[in-house]
Structure 1
Amino acid sequence: MGLAEEIAAMRGGSGHSGRLLGEFRRTALLVPLSGGDDGGLMSGWQGGVRWIYAFTDEEALARFAVQRGAGVHEWDYLSILGARLVDAVIPTVDGPTGVAVDVADEGGSMLFPPVVGIVADAYAVDAGPDRAEAV
């Protein structure tokens, strides 16, 4: 099953969080570039968290572009594994950062928040000195 199917299963109540996260980490995601001089990744803010936009395929990215009023323009994007996004990119971003997958698809989107188990503990909002260690 691909990431879009794992998201659908999770949203439908029959998914498994471990399979979903594993598929997210293995999937080459399409991340649009911001178009600014910094060459950064396109992201948005919600609830005090920066969300990097990522898409499972070009069609999902195109739906997002249309929603943003840029459907006729080509967007530059980076193809990057989900694992590399959370393990190598997120540590370079200031503040809490997660990944929003297929955000233009109301019934097919999924957020991967900056929490333990998704991002490195040093960048997780729920990690801290008083967090109980799993036994």
Structure 2
Amino acid sequence: KGFPFVGAAGDLLTKMIEGIKLSRDEVYIANVIKCRPPNNRDPQVDEIEQCEPFLIRQIELIQPRVVCTLGRFAAQTLLKTTTSMGRLRGKIYEYSGIKLIPTYHPAALLRNPQWKRPAWEDLKLLRFEYDGTQL
């Protein structure tokens, strides 16, 4: 459809955002990869490297208070790590002077409902770091 996060994963993302008392209009959503890989496969290293400068520039222009990475590729790309999502989540990192909180991708939550509780904890942390609101 030309927009990030549509379909079931997009619907879940909207509910996640609304769950922390924000709307999709209040958040900026960007993808690491600026085009969808064939057959919706995982992005390859060269594709990430080609698109990463655009993502970095988007973050520079937006100057967010907090970045929340959704899924392994986004977290690993910005944090320059190969650490698993399960080990990355639940903590606050720094990316170019900005607080960064990794959590699971909404599509992964649809496949693994047991991750929804940890993701909710990540979102509550995100909201607190954003403006001090405790949920």
TM-score (norm 1): 0.28
Greater helix share, 1 or 2? 2
Structure exhibiting the larger radius of gyration computed from Cα positions: 1
TM-score (norm 2): 0.28
Greater strand share, 1 or 2? 1
